[in-house]
Amino acid sequence: MGIEIAQATDLLKGTLAKFDKDMVQIALKNQTCEIVNRWFKSDKKVVTGGDSVKFYVQLKRSNNASHTQLYDTDDVNVAQVVSEGSVNWVHAKTAWAFDVRELAMNKGNPQRVFNMLEQRVKAAIHDLIIELEEAAWRTPSSSSDTLAPHGLPPAHAWRYSPPAEFPISDKFSGSSLMHRGPPQTVSFWCRLVQGYSA
């Protein structure tokens, strides 16, 4: 009768399992991050400086467009259509740590299976990406929440009606909001509109 490899103890002690040196595959829940992939592209809008971001947005129509006939007279409506808004900065962070003795034991020698420090850095960056991605689909829990960024959900909800805690129904009708421009413009718009103040 034969034996299994686990029973051949000399073979187990004298032989390593097959592995790809310095190769760690990442198999986590999010294989792609829709928001982060768009925000950090080269054609993104970059805003720097100041203690907050101030912006101007058109929330009303001038109602000047109409069909006309020959020799019809114009009745021009000069409407004030631009509103000012602002949103405070929010910050995110990640971290990793190591002991110099760990690095000495894990340096590039035949005993190393993978680069431990490199993997810790990758794990920390991945954590930051997931934090940004998940935060982009949420909104602050209240006006006193200064940690959470202004994410996408409010703008999507406004396509139907403005939320009660954000009373701007006389200034903005979300049902008329349709965007056909570049995707990064949508995310920038949505983040800023949530912080709008009349």
Domain-embedded: residue 69: no
Compute the Cα dihedral for 143, 130, 122, 124 and give only its sign.
Answer: positive
Q: How far apart are CA 36 and CA 129, in angstroms?
A: 7
Q: What is the pLDDT of residues 170-195, one digit of tens each?
A: 444 443 343 444 444 444 344 444 44
Range of the domain at 134: 5-61+74-194
- Those residues whose C-beta lies under 8 Å from the C-beta of residue 67, and which sit 6 or more positions away, are none
In a domain, 114, yes or no: yes
Q: What is the pLDDT of residues 80-134, one digit of tens each?
A: 989 888 888 888 999 999 999 888 888 877 888 888 899 999 999 989 988 988 8
In a domain, 68, yes or no: no
User: Residue 67: inside a domain, yes or no?
Assistant: no
Query: What pLDDT, in 10s, does the model give residues 54-84?
Result: 888 888 889 899 999 999 998 898 999 898 8
Instruction: Give the number of domains in the chain.
Output: 1
Question: Whole-angstrom Cα distance, residue 153 to residue 139?
Answer: 7
pTM beyond 0.75: the answer is no
Percent of the chain with pLDDT over 90: 12
